Structure 1
Amino acid sequence: MDPLASTLFLIFLAFIGIVIFLQFIPLGLWIQSVSSGVYVGLTRLFAMKLRRVNPARIVHPLITAHKADLPLNVTQLEAHYLAGGNVERVVQALIAAQKAGITLNFQQATAIDLAGRNVLEAVQTSVNPKVISTPRVAAMAKDGIQLIAIARVTVRANINRLVGGAGEETILARVGEGIVSTIGSASSHKAVLENPDNISKTVLSKGLDAGTAFEILSIDIADVDVGKNIGAELQTDQAEADKRIAQARAEERRAMAVALEQENRARVEEMRARVVEAEAQVPLAMAEAFRKGNLGVMDYTRIQNMQSDTSMRRALAAPAGPASGNAGSGGS
């Protein structure tokens, strides 16, 4: 083989070897760690690659912690990374806590981070409390007037209760419940409007931050609006309901009266039918009496005279009318 070709081939192999070496050995991170006073060996960096750990996510936070005089090592950071934690955020939180004089160790920080909370934000909230606003809370005083209040709650994170403690939603729910209870116990809505600070004092005295990850510093009523007259609306609805009940009962009584009247009419018709049936039996009975000799011609004549006399008396007893007047004039 030509010496020049051999040299070029060796240079190519060397280049390939360097590329492979740099691919698995982050030489730049190693130089950066050595120059920063944090020695991380090439073997350790290669082992991180094999364990699917991004060496930059470990070396950079380690250098930051070293510059801040935090006693951390590669093993601790790598273990937290493999557990699914955010190494950069944990280191930043430890530095912020150290500068602010807050007691926070690496175990607490990693536990808070793995619990799904933002440990850096928690430290910042401990130093600089934040304000959270409640939604519009509607409550009714004893005089039936609705009041709508908005409160602003100033809270500070409690590092020791971040793991297992309730969040902001619980704080807002408890404050809203306290506002409803306080307004509901007021004798008049005017008393609430005159002294809205009584709401915050009453709610704050109930210890609503128990079992939460925060400490309530103050509760301030930002706005109180007068809503509807709920008491009057309830009375109106009750009166409407009573009217409908009364109408239903009256309709029931009317239906019963109509049914009773129809029943009486049916009884009258039945009685009339019986009378007609009985009158139809009279001629048959008289005929039977004639056949048996129990009734004579004179007896029948007296019966006819009696019926005529009865008809005349009924006609005389009837009130005078146009028909009777015409009849009288015709007879004369």
Structure 2
Amino acid sequence: MTEPVILADVVRSDFVEGHHRGSVVVTNPDGSVAWSAGIVDQPMFPRSSNKPMQALGMLRNGLDLDGELLALAGASHSGEQFHLDGVRRILAKAGLDESALRTPVQYPLDDAARDAWVRAGHGPEPITMNCSGKHAAMILTCHVNDWPLDDYRSPDHPLQKEIRTAIEDSAGEKASYIAVDGCGAPIFALTLSGLARSFGLFAAAAPETLEARVVNAFRAHPEFASGSTRDEAELMHAVDGLFCKAGAEGVYAVGLADGRGIALKLEDGQARARKVVMAATLQRLGITNDTIERHLHFPLLGGGVQVGAVQPHPSAFS
């Protein structure tokens, strides 16, 4: 296909008022494409869906984290108190505090966490930026290797070169473009198929591998990898062996325990249709439960009550 396709409809009071277009791919355990819709073989930015592979690059270079702190190293966290405490714990391993972070200032992603933060008299800070766990782990990796800290976000820094290698190894393809992500660190362009392959590889990795170490951290501590109210954490709790990570601009990737991978991107970048499309793709694979059924519809309100939903396009997943 040469262009994105309609994956979800916006239905209000039984009237289709809009669509979400995008692309989605399912890969087999051997990395080949099992099913796709839209554009899956052209470069795109995985955004924060790359974070598990970034964590792999750090583990390969001496990062000594496990459990909830490793999940936080691969997170786009919600800024809840346990996230902030975890970031400080990672930095403390390098003998540093949050002043070492090079993340831009931001309020917590979670509404309740943001409101509590503001009530406590705080403004946007680097530690509440959703990528601060990853940045703390980057700083710790630099500390372990005696690499410079001031420019750890530079694409030419030894850390970022190692991370690029890990991403390319996981995807089975070379990054075709390098840009600056929202947090200031490099982001590497892959195909959507390459992103899906990465997640399938991680999800089915042998127990003794570093990939399995990342996946086990996510599976055991999904709230640290996302947040206590996030759909990603809910999905990892609901499907045994599932491993997932969302990213900005409507990106979402899943790895299944049998080695299949799923990746999607919505062209309009809106997060509201992301879980709808992923739930429909999982159902197409014969994976369903109450959580997935609920994720198939993003409610639309009118007058304070639900009057419609964002829901899968009828023919997109046949």
TM exceeds 0.5?
Answer: no
Name the structure, 1 or 2, with higher relative contact order (CA <8 Å, separation 6+): 2
The structure whose Rg is larger is 1
| TM-score interval, smaller chain | under 0.3
> Which structure: greater strand fraction?
2
